[in-house]
Chains A and B, each alone.
Chain A
Amino acid sequence: MTEDPTTNTGFKWVGTRPIRPDGLDKVTGKARFGADLVLPNMIEAAIARSPHAHARIVSIDTTAAESMPGVQAVITGADFPDLKEAGAKQPDVFQAAKVMARDKVLFEGHPVAAVAAATRQEAQRAVAAIVVEYEVLPHVLTAGAAMADGAPLLHDDLITANVDPAPEASSNVASRALQQRGDLDAGFAAADVVIERNYTTKPVHQGYIEPHAAVADAGQDGRAHLWCSSQGHFDMRSSTANVLAMEPSLINVTPAEIGGGFGGKTTIYLEPIAVLLSRKAGRPVRVVMDRDEVFQATGPTSGSEMRVKIGVTNDGDITAADVFMAFEAGAFPGSPVGAAAMTALACYDIDNFFVEGFDVVVNKPKVAAYRAPGAPIIAFAVEGLIDELARAIDMDPIDLRLKNAAVEGVQAPYGPTHPRIGFVETLEAIRDSDHYRTPVAANQGRGVACGFWFNIGGNSVATVNVHEDGNVSVITGSPDIGGSRASMALFAAEEFGIDVERINPQIADTQTIGHTDVTGGSRVTLATGKVVVEACRELTADMCRRAAKMWDCEVEDVEWVNGHAQHASGTETPLSMAAIAAKAGRTGGPISTTYTENVRGAGAGFSTQLVDVEVDEETGQTKIVRYTTAQDAGKAIHPSYVEGQMQGGVVQGIGWALNEEYIHREDGTLDNPSFLDYRIPVASDLPMIETIVVEVPNPNHPYGVRGVGEVGIVPPMGAIANAIDRATGCRLHDLPMSPVRLLSAINDKNA
């Protein structure tokens, strides 16, 4: 084990590729995901949902449903506490209204009632018998339309935040985000070339293969037990408790294995419904979404309208940038436009900029986080525009980025000064890659793009126990969506100096581990990893103290080496963990500790990506021929899963670039709520994704870790747009760059 993260070498376990501890259950079908749990006496639920994008609920009649075969409980919005009347904060009121509509439905699929019955079919039949009278209202589907004068309003109490003076009347604009620096006019005046473009993107879904599922068992004592697959069971607990006006600790949430999240499972949908139904029925209730419900009524990310203007000198100095964004939040405020404003220019050192973004409500499902939320959307625009500028001044696009790259000491657009970062290293890795050195084929085009994501730290707790056989449990509160249990095991193996097979990582429920923040923000390897490391260090120190007692010597004479307490003189036989554990009762009690911290010092993540495409110019179809991604991981704890995160993010980005989009009919209903017409990439669409893991250690982590989960999705859309431009001479500014749109652009070019 090395103390110096800057050297990043000399590890025995960290950096190796053992089989992940949850792997065996997953390849044998034993792993239990959200819909796999069966409890005794359990019944099933179904949800009644609005067929309209925007309507007032005039009445709901559940009498027929209540007397149907098998039905045990029926609930509507009226069964939920009225948080508005109780004076709760607006975000809490909105969250509760998202879970089940009160007086208005604001998107197709908005829940209006739910039924628990003996079987799912009986619940669905009862749902069909619920009579809802709606007064259909005009709807808006895009940010531009929602911001226009006279647009139908979703809420009558939404006052735009962060504008001065505050508006007097409600609108569809929830808030404004702003980042600015320097003198924009002077900056553009100093530029030799200025290009301005408009961009649009569509909502896209995280596309996890596992639909949402929850099982709730509410007791007569006011407590409830909830099982659900989520990215953060503490957040599920607090949000569910909030909606139901309960004390959070009365709900115990056990995390199931999660079948993909990517940000979309950081928020509640089914959980309060499951608890209420269980309470009313007096039996455990399981609620599972169908695939079309997932698309209609969970949280895609925003569609957007953007305008970007950047100025550059002839020798490649970016002098000014002006960015406008309007992001669709869906039915309630909370798009990632703020994060987009912070990250829009974060790869570059620009003295003069004005970045303004608006969070706009529209009659679509409320957006949820999607992998580096906001950043990929604006990066499509900025990275495309940087490429256009590079061509305008006849400069290599990598060189242009190198010239302006953010480095240590540069102030990030959102305020802090960068410590040691690895962005330049990723650019150089791509420039020096075999891919880049291979000439582009004649009928292909090559594009490069970059991306940034902050990564976060946050609250984590770890409990580590040494068992009588000297093996170790590592207990945390971080649901594992990418392989973090493997990383926790590697940290512990490294700290104790024992085989990673002897480490058993577990994820505890909300009663048995301290509060842990969501698995998101690429935080787990950093923050939960850090508390695991610290807990292990406490125990190695503790075991040295116990050994000193056992040897009756000074603790200064004992050191921890290779899983053993060793006497510095060499006169004592080293003590294994099992040997120390055997005497635990006599040396202070069971060998166990809990370490808690709100971890700071997350290291920013940077990615540079290179893609070669081939376009069939008669059909507009784009083929990804070769793809290389370089990303700074700080230190790759389990390199295979770092590579996996990189590759997964790239492929989501490829889908986002080429085919994925929410297609709404004019009446506001979703035309493609299935995997047939919401087209995520399939295996035959893709080549191997070459990965280059750059390791510039994060000085704030004992192992130099930087989060890796998110930044990989930021560059692909820009890179592919750049490649398509090189291949066809057509520059697309709207996503997705589907065959229909590309052929239309090719036709325009040829006309």
Chain B
Amino acid sequence: MGRTHVSCTINGHEAEFLADAGDSLLNALRDEVSLTGVKEGCGTGDCGACSVLLDDRVTCACLIFAPEAEGTMIMTVEGLADAEHLHPLQQTFLEGSALQCGICTPGFLMAAKALLDKNPNPTETEVRYALAGNLCRCTGYDKIIRSVLDAAAQMNADQMNGASS
């Protein structure tokens, strides 16, 4: 069988690509759609560096067969900011020094976004467990957790002030 044609929405735009049935969505996003912000750390779902949102749920792109993406909505780190503004998480990660080498950062941002979309006011423990699927070797997680809590506080304040987040 030849390659499968996949149509989906990526970062708000219609996208299409070709993939072999057994290709992972990770490889398709990086190699076919040139979204290299999605990183491969392990390829087996143990590190979370390839985390993307698939129909608003955070998943490891390395554990999805590319054809499964047909008709779905995918968000990668490249879709987190809009043209004018960074997402509050991106902003607090920068201000809170929540990244050093930065290879795990895209995955953390997507997992943190999924968390805050579901649970806008998490405790520190809830943040730690929600992000347990994302490995970081540089930071010891401390500043990442603080930045996520700061973003949550900011987003809640924005909500109360009627700002759009």
Contact = CB atoms under 8 A, between A and B. Distances in A.
A651 B100 CA distance: 14
Interface residues of B, number: 58
Contacts of A35: 36, 40
A206 interface: yes
Contacts of A30: 37
B135 A680 contact: yes
Contacts of B40: 35, 211
Contacts of A210: 39, 41, 101, 103
Contact of B142 (A260, A261, A674, A689): A689
A20, A644, A681 interface centre (most CB from chain B within 10 Å): A644
Contact of A29 (B20, B77, B128, B140): B77
B135 A259 contact: no
Interface string B103-120: 111100100000000000
A517 B94 CA distance: 29
Contact of B94 (A20, A262, A681): A20
A652 B132 CA distance: 16
Given A644-B139, A648-B139, A675-B42, A28 B37 contact: yes
Interface stretch (B43-51, B66-74, B152-160): B43-51
A674 B42 contact: yes
Contacts of A652: 137
A291 B131 contact: no
B67 to A, nearest CB: 16
Contacts of A681: 140-141
A751 interface: no
A195 interface: no
Contacts of A209: 39, 41, 47, 49, 101, 103-104, 135-137
B6 interface: no
Contacts of A36: 30, 36
A23 B99 contact: yes
B137 A207 contact: yes
A125 to B, nearest CB: 13
Contact of A683 (B39, B47, B49, B145): B145
B61 interface: no
A648 B140 contact: yes
A33 interface: yes
A568 interface: no
Interface string A17-34: 101101110111111110
Task: Please classify how large the interface on chain A is, using the bins under 10, 10 to 19, 20 to 34, 35 or more.
Answer: 35 or more
Contacts of B139: 644, 647-648, 651
Given A28-B81, A640-B143, A482 B138 contact: yes
A650 interface: yes
A26 B37 CA distance: 9
B165 interface: no
Contacts of B127: 683
B128 A684 contact: yes
A719 to B, nearest CB: 15
A169 interface: no
Nearest to A481: B101
B42, B46, B101, B139 interface centre (most CB from chain A within 10 Å): B101
A680 B136 CA distance: 9
A17 B147 CA distance: 14
A208 interface: yes
A676 interface: yes
**Nearest 6 A-B pairs (CB), nearest first?**
A29-B37, A259-B103, A26-B102, A651-B140, A640-B97, A647-B140
17 contacts: A20-B99, A27-B99, A28-B90, A29-B37, A36-B36, A210-B39, A210-B103, A211-B41, A258-B101, A260-B138, A291-B41, A483-B100, A644-B100, A648-B138, A680-B135, A683-B129, A684-B129
Given A641-B97, A651-B141, 7 more contacts: A29-B36, A209-B137, A680-B137, A681-B141, A682-B132, A684-B131, A688-B124
Interface of A: 17, 19-20, 22-24, 26-33, 35-36, 38, 121, 206-211, 257-262, 290-291, 481-483, 640-641, 643-644, 647-648, 650-652, 674-676, 680-684, 686, 688-689
